[in-house]
Structure 1
Amino acid sequence: MGGTDRITDRASGTVFLHAVLRDLGAGVLTVDTSGLITFVNPWAEHLLGRSAEQMRGCDAHDLLHRRHDGSPVPRELCPMRTLLQGGRAEELSGEEYFLRADGTTVPIIWSAASLRVAGRRAGTVVVFHDFSLQREAEERAAARTAALEALTARLNLVADVSVLLVSTVDASGMGRRLLRLLVPRMGDWAALDLWPEVAGEGERFAVRGPRGGERPVALEEPLPPLPERSRRAVEHVMSGDEPVRTTGEELAAAPDAPLATTHRVLFDRLGGRSAVVVPLRARRRSFGMLTVARAESAPPHSDAEIRLLSDIGRRIGMALDNIRLYHEQRNVAETMQRQLLAPLPQVGRLRMAARYLPAQGAMEIGGDWYDAFRLADGVTALVIGDVVGHDRQAAAHMAEVRNMLRALAWDHQEPPSVIMRRLDEAVTHTSDAPMATLIFARVEGGEGGPWQLHWVTAGHPPPLLVTSAGDTRFLTGGHGPLIGMSAVLDLGLNWPDAYEDLPPDSTLLLYTDGLVESRGRSIDLGLAKLRHHAGILSRRMAGRTVDDFCDELLERIAPAGDDVALLALRMPAAGEGTPGDATPPPPPQSPHSPAAPDRAAPGSTVERPEVRDPTRATGRGEATWE
């Protein structure tokens, strides 16, 4: 009875085992120690398209193991045979390809274990699954990842290009930096041709990435002149909005092609096989063309890459048009400012120099000004002023105040204090100009000296007097309220006249607050810095012109932020210009000034009349006026 039960149990276990192997959902095969197939379950028959009878007794490796293209795998490279060779490994797994009966391959993921019977190695059991679905999912995921990475790279490139385009108004500098963004991300070399509308006479920039151990190559040169026929052909091709494909072979085979005259030399010098030429256009204007090329071993640009280059070309075109508009507005503003600023008169052996620096970010125009002109009595008048603002409105107000002061000073032979009071009333009642600070001064004295400064200050930084020995002193006298404040508020304030002897060979500096004040520096520190450098330069630059002095002073101080106007007066040596003086005159006054070059100083052709030396009222330090 017991024996019958054991037989029944063994039979039931065999049926159960076959049921498990049949419905496992994975292929199972066993091989003996020689590698011959001894068992195949139904799922393995399904996956491989072969019956168990066709596979039993066949060498498993020779029958099934293949590469993905169906070619045989050398036996010594078969990882599943490792278990048959008696190695230490008892279990192995991996990914391979099995050959189906129809000649196709199926990717599998497998796991193998040594098969032992009664403690002795009897072969190997291999369990495998069809990995095609997972492989396809992985490939799709990899493709999506690659597409996302490519899209991210293109978006990053567009972002980098956009940041560059909005960060400069220099077309040439933009071109140099732009090409380094495109190479090697979009091609092996790139070139940018800019028409004269945005680059003077026209410029060409090119950059080739490193290759074959060579260093990168950068080219920069004027655009080669084109015959009229070729120029019209290129303009016609670039008049569209779509990029143009070309190759070095096409250009060499068709020397009369529109782009052959401009691009054949690029292929000759930089190499490459294919290129995309992108027109740079905006608002129906053409500004040049962008070329991106690839070497012989690289595939031509794809449609997606050409669309990207087309988008970059449109952005460049808009940026170049904005640069063109900026420079046009800047030229208009600069012309206006130069017309508002005064040329300097040539007065005997006095030497003057003027400088004007616009506020950073302003369109070369603002409310700061200097002025120098001769009065009816032969005295030279000096003015430095600052009307609130840094725009065209401030410049217009500055012109009003300047012209009023000129007219009042010429028409009324009165002390500077009286002229200032008249100006304050005139500005208040006849102009909408805001408040202004200024200095109005008279340089009085005859040829050979002595010379004297007679001035008033309306809320303006004080003049700086620098001797030839380097001694410096701010002239703080004559200080009064700003123009436009006393009369408006009916304060009844006055501007006291001040006097100062001007030593021979000394330099007088009149300046606006932009020279000595900025966001990062208080005016007290700025005044101390001005005084320090002016003293050093006076000693080191003895014998140099007042123009040299101004240029070196501005370089040392490096003002930033606000408008800066600077007017410097260099006094002659003692006795120079007197009758019988044989001393050669100083170098002629430099024609350089911020004023328009075609303008002459008012009164520059008028002979200087006899100069009357004012006398001072006893104990008051003021001139006596008739």
Structure 2
Amino acid sequence: MRQAGTPVGRGRTPEGSVIEEHRRVGPDTGEVRLQAVESRLSRTVARYERVLANVADGIYGLDADGRVEFVNPAAARMTGHPADEQLGLDQHELLHAVRPDGSPYPKAECPVWRALRTGRTMASDDEVFWRADGTPVPVELIAVPTVEDGAVTGVVVSFRDLTDRLAAQRQAAELQRLAEAAAAQRALSDRLQQALLTPPPEPDHLHIAVRYRPAAHEAQVGGDWYDAFLQPDGATMLVIGDVVGHDSTAAAAMGQLRGLLRALAYDNDEPPSATLTRAEHAARGLAVSNLATVVLARIERRPDVPVAGPRVLRWSNAGHLPPVLLAPDGTTTLLETRPDLMLGVDPDAPRTDHTAELDDGATLLLVTDGLVERRDADLDEGLATLREALRDLGRVPLEELCDTLLARVLPADGADDVALVAVRVYPEDRPRPPEAGPNRLPPGLA
């Protein structure tokens, strides 16, 4: 193959200078030197041929008319045209005469032909060569003219198959599109959840704090929720729940179940178990068929107990984690019961109620499983970790308790949403402590 500037076998070469010197110094010395130069030249040519034979890029050597003088193995492999069948043919007509849309590609617009006509190096990253079987090969190419005595005698064309690169770019673009769609879906679901997860009321004798943490992964949109509201008689209703699934459908079902439970529990004093049963029948009738775990609880006072006495927590558990009761001294009690069937399986499944006393200074916590479940540990270990994290928080202000607990237990790359309701109990015969913040009651109960 000719080199840029001067092709092999034409023009002046080191051989010419050796012959001239041979004429001056005599036949013996000149012959020796000529043989040495020819040997070096042969080795150089062989080295270039090895490089051209093994380089990954396709390389063509064309004459001044654009006809093929040289084809390396990579070019023959990428185009499917055997090298010996290309020699002497017009490369543009063979590989480049048609655009990807099937229209003719005028030779005057071809970067290889422009390099031949202008003597300037031309490059393009958006060309197509056509294989012998008629399929297109997307290529980028550079055309370097060879010039001898000021005249263009040919061009060396180096090109690279872009098929894999373009496929990778398309794949990256599709992944980006999917990521943006997932992020948009997540943002919509988060807005839905935030709109539904309203601030809790703050009756004088209770301090209620809530937290919601979305999963770290964009695709993990869940159906976790909490709720807290007052009944007309002043009792406080608490809800913690988790719809099975991690998508916008789960988030939508969460909103429907939350609304049902809130509406059905607001204006009656029936046991929480009865409210769960009615909610499940209503959900089935309204085609809300998602599975969900729920704890529905009410903090109430026994009619025959003085105001200064303990309050009662009454709850029903539909397949959810047990509530946790934290004493001021840091001891914890899991309010474990045999959990009833989760919602969405059998609306007529039997449901039970449970009660526990809430002493002044106690803290009740309701959480979803994202706070305690880990892939590398079972649920019992997660609950033990939660209880250990609460040991020194029994007298810490409630808002600080919630933030500290999440920081201690919740991993930075949490794979699930987390909802938390915490309730601190205060004596009813004393003013609300300053650290609990102001009262916040619905207009009808203020």
What is the TM-score normalised by the length of structure 2? Answer: 0.62
Cα deviations by residue, 1:254-310 (Å, 9 ceiling, x for unpaired) = xxxxxxxxxxxxxxxxxxxxxxxxxxxxxxxxxxxxxxxxxxxxxxxxx999x9xx9
Change (3 A) 1:320 1:346: same
Cα deviations by residue, 1:554-586 (Å, 9 ceiling, x for unpaired) = 2222253333211111122xx3x52xx467533
- SS of the residue aligned with 1:508? strand
Change (3 A) 1:335 1:313: same
Q: Within 5 Å, give how 1:61-100 maps onto structure 2.
A: 98=33
Paired position in structure 1 for 2:223: 367
* 2:183/2:218 contact within 8 Å kept: no
Cα deviations by residue, 1:394-438 (Å, 9 ceiling, x for unpaired) = 112122221111111123221222222222322333333223211
Paired position in structure 2 for 1:135: 44
Q: Within 5 Å, give how 1:106-121 maps onto structure 2.
A: 107-109=37-39
Match status 1:450 vs 2:296: no
* 1:478/1:498 contact within 8 Å kept: no
| CA–CA distance in structure 1, aligned partners of residues 333 and 292 of structure 2 | 24
Paired position in structure 1 for 2:141: none
Tell me the CA shift for residue 522 of structure 1.
0.8
The code of the aligned residue for 1:570 comes to R
Cα deviations by residue, 1:14-40 (Å, 9 ceiling, x for unpaired) = xxxxxxxxxxxxxxxxxxxxxxxxxxx
| CA–CA distance in structure 1, aligned partners of residues 42 and 432 of structure 2 | 103
Paired position in structure 1 for 2:443: 605
| CA–CA distance in structure 1, aligned partners of residues 289 and 24 of structure 2 | 107
The code of the aligned residue for 1:509 comes to L
**Larger gyration radius, structure 1 or structure 2:** 1
* 1:439/1:456 contact within 8 Å kept: yes
Paired position in structure 1 for 2:330: 470
Match status 1:504 vs 2:364: no
User: Unaligned stretches of 5+ in structure 2?
Assistant: 1-14, 58-157
Q: Within 5 Å, give how 1:108-257 maps onto structure 2.
A: 108-109=38-39, 131-142=40-51
384, 389, 398: which is aligned to 1:533? 389
| CA–CA distance in structure 1, aligned partners of residues 329 and 376 of structure 2 | 31
The code of the aligned residue for 2:388 comes to H
Q: Within 5 Å, give how 1:277-316 maps onto structure 2.
A: none
| CA–CA distance in structure 1, aligned partners of residues 247 and 235 of structure 2 | 33
Paired position in structure 2 for 1:79: none
Paired position in structure 2 for 1:425: 281
Match status 1:415 vs 2:271: yes
Change (3 A) 1:589 1:522: farther
| CA–CA distance in structure 1, aligned partners of residues 175 and 218 of structure 2 | 19
Paired position in structure 2 for 1:555: 407
| CA–CA distance in structure 2, aligned partners of residues 346 and 419 of structure 1 | 23
* 1:379/1:444 contact within 8 Å kept: yes
| CA–CA distance in structure 1, aligned partners of residues 341 and 365 of structure 2 | 21
The code of the aligned residue for 2:404 comes to E
Change (3 A) 1:586 1:322: same
| CA–CA distance in structure 1, aligned partners of residues 342 and 179 of structure 2 | 39
* 2:182/2:218 contact within 8 Å kept: no
Change (3 A) 1:392 1:314: closer
The code of the aligned residue for 2:45 comes to E
* 2:204/2:432 contact within 8 Å kept: no
Paired position in structure 2 for 1:385: 241
287, 291, 310: which is aligned to 1:435? 291
Change (3 A) 1:448 1:519: same
Match status 1:588 vs 2:424: no
| CA–CA distance in structure 1, aligned partners of residues 435 and 226 of structure 2 | 23
| CA–CA distance in structure 2, aligned partners of residues 366 and 556 of structure 1 | 22
* 2:261/2:279 contact within 8 Å kept: yes
The code of the aligned residue for 1:385 comes to G
| CA–CA distance in structure 2, aligned partners of residues 57 and 137 of structure 1 | 28
Match status 1:494 vs 2:351: yes
Change (3 A) 1:53 1:528: closer
* 1:351/1:589 contact within 8 Å kept: no
| CA–CA distance in structure 2, aligned partners of residues 51 and 607 of structure 1 | 116
Change (3 A) 1:589 1:385: farther
| CA–CA distance in structure 2, aligned partners of residues 313 and 428 of structure 1 | 47
* 1:465/1:508 contact within 8 Å kept: yes
| CA–CA distance in structure 1, aligned partners of residues 175 and 271 of structure 2 | 55
Residues paired across the two proteins, number = 324
Cα deviations by residue, 1:366-394 (Å, 9 ceiling, x for unpaired) = 22111101112111100011121111111
| CA–CA distance in structure 2, aligned partners of residues 53 and 403 of structure 1 | 108
User: Unaligned stretches of 5+ in structure 1?
Assistant: 1-44, 66-97, 101-105, 110-130, 149-302, 591-600, 609-626
Tell me the CA shift for residue 511 of structure 1.
1.0
- SS of the residue aligned with 1:453? strand
Paired position in structure 2 for 1:346: 202
Paired position in structure 2 for 1:566: 420
| CA–CA distance in structure 2, aligned partners of residues 523 and 502 of structure 1 | 26
Match status 1:482 vs 2:336: no
Tell me the CA shift for residue 133 of structure 1.
2.9
Change (3 A) 1:484 1:134: same
* 2:189/2:251 contact within 8 Å kept: no
| CA–CA distance in structure 2, aligned partners of residues 346 and 500 of structure 1 | 21
The code of the aligned residue for 2:280 comes to D
Identity among equivalent positions (%) equals 34
Paired position in structure 1 for 2:79: none
Q: Within 5 Å, give how 1:39-78 maps onto structure 2.
A: 49=19, 56=26, 60=29
| CA–CA distance in structure 2, aligned partners of residues 553 and 397 of structure 1 | 28
- SS of the residue aligned with 1:390? coil
| CA–CA distance in structure 2, aligned partners of residues 505 and 421 of structure 1 | 33
Change (3 A) 1:485 1:332: closer
| CA–CA distance in structure 1, aligned partners of residues 346 and 380 of structure 2 | 26
* 2:186/2:218 contact within 8 Å kept: no
